[in-house]
Amino acid sequence: MTEQELLYAIALTKVGRLNSLHQHHLLEALGSVTAIYENRADIRQAFPDATPALCRAIATMDQQLAHAEEEIRFAQKGGIQCLGINDEAYP
């Protein structure tokens, strides 16, 4: 996972009203968190099953980037390896 992909993955986990099942369905449909981020303004076009509440939640994903950057810095400082669900090393 690239650092940019990690940034988007962490930001996605911080989006309110978005649980792990939603995240899994989005990843399955779009293929990557980068694709989710790039389509956040009109997620329904890429993921037609998105509810209006999900669309509103995903549209706020960019507001979570600063917090995600803090978490990445904390992990790097502590020698913590962050893994996403698409990483080969993910358990």
Interval 63-91 mean pLDDT: 92
pTM of the model: 0.89
Q: Among 66, 7, 8, which Cα is nearest to 37's?
A: 8
Checking 64-67 for CB contacts under 8 A at 24+ apart, the result is: 64/10, 64/11, 64/12, 64/14, 64/15, 65/7, 65/11, 67/10, 67/11, 67/14
* Mean pLDDT to the nearest integer, 41-63: 93
Amino acid at 61: M
> Given a cut of 90, is residue 86 above it in pLDDT?
no
Does pLDDT of 88 surpass 90? no
pLDDT digit string (tens) for 21-31? 999 999 999 99
Q: What is the mean pLDDT of residues 45-70?
A: 94
